[in-house]
């Protein structure tokens, strides 16, 4: 119950974004612009600030990142079963396959901050910073038949990866930012959480359903149940405990990334099914993530 209450503000912001988009009629250009500001300015500031000033144990980070990679690998294997079991068309499969392992970074950092404070943000930033290249590479590779963009160029331009690396470098160099810079980055970071989650809510799509039927339910279960179980078992086998284990499981329990829809549409995929899966995992995670967080806190 306490975990559910802690995460309630984050999910309330997602629902607020959903309501604002449907009732204020601000236009797609407003929400597209907001997403760009959050993605290129606000969240990078949050990452740099958190990673730069939080003491990090890089020796303990290796099994943490390995746990995240292995959990994503479980998602890829289970996601690949959609093709022989449910027999979607090749392009539908290539589009929805990414929903079995990709993750929403906005929800990741916001929830880690609420549950664990600055150390949680820094730890989650390391995990997501390492996981983004793998997730993007595999997702684009599966859709590569219709790709119009270079996967390595997209990864190299990812501001969240560069912000994590910059914060890590400043941390290792022992850089202590002057007070005005700390306040400036803190203000940007605070804005990133609220606006980022509202952007997630504004992107939710439910109209039209999904032609996947059973495959859709299966992929939601894989993302929100199978992956956290895998992360829990793998993390314990690799010696994780405390904050690192909690962040690993929380990472695995995240809803699918909103950018999966953009990728599917840009590369000629099935955007409707991906949009439904993003929305379904986001709404369902409002109930499953507090359960995982509460169970870990009590165990």
The CA-atom distances, in angstroms, between 263 and each of 49, 270, 274 are 29, 10, 10
- Does 82 have pLDDT greater than 90? yes
pLDDT tens across 232-244, in order?
999 999 999 889 9
Flag the least confident range among 47-51, 249-253, 278-282: 47-51
Most confident of 114-128, 192-206, 220-234: 220-234
Check if the beta carbon of residue 98 is closer than 8 Å to that of residue 142.
yes
User: What's residue 222's pLDDT?
Assistant: 97
15-26: average pLDDT: 88
What would the two tokens of residue 270 be?
């099935």
What would the two tokens of residue 106 be?
């906005």
User: What's residue 109's pLDDT?
Assistant: 85
Q: Which residue has the higher pLDDT, 14 or 271?
A: 14
What domains are there in the chain, each with its CATH number? 2-293 (1.20.1530.20)
| Mean residue pLDDT across the chain | 84
Question: How much is the pTM?
Answer: 0.78
User: What's residue 189's pLDDT?
Assistant: 83
């Amino acid at each position: 119950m306490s975990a559910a209450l802690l995460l309630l503000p984050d999910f309330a912001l997602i629902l607020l974004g959903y309501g604002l988009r449907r009732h204020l009629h601000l236009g797609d250009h407003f929400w597209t612009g907001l997403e760009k500001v959050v993605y290129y300015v606000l969240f990078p500031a949050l990452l740099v600030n958190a990673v730069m000033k939080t003491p990090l144990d890089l020796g303990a980070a290796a099994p943490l990142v390995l746990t995240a990679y292995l959990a994503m690998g479980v998602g890829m294997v289970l996601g690949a079963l959609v093709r022989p079991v449910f027999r979607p068309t090749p392009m539908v499969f290539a589009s929805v396959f990414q929903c079995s392992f990709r993750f929403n970074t906005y929800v990741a950092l916001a929830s880690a901050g609420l549950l664990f404070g600055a150390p949680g943000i820094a730890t989650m930033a390391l995990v997501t910073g390492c996981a983004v290249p793998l997730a993007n590479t595999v997702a684009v590779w599966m859709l590569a038949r219709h790709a119009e963009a270079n996967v390595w160029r997209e990864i190299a331009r990812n501001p969240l990866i560069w912000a994590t690396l910059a914060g890590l470098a400043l941390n290792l160099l022992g850089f202590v930012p002057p007070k005005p810079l700390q306040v400036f980055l803190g203000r940007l970071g605070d804005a990133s959480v609220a606006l980022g989650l509202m952007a997630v809510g504004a992107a939710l799509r439910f109209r039209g359903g999904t032609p996947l039927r059973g495959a859709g339910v299966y992929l939601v279960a894989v993302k929100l149940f199978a992956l956290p179980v895998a992360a829990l078992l793998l993390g314990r086998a690799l010696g994780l405990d405390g904050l690192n284990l909690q962040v690993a499981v929380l990472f695995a329990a995240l809803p699918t990334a909103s950018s999966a829809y953009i990728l599917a549409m840009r590369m000629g995929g099935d955007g409707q099914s991906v949009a439904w899966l993003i929305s379904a995992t986001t709404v369902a995670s409002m109930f499953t993530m507090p359960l995982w967080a509460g169970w870990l806190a009590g165990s």
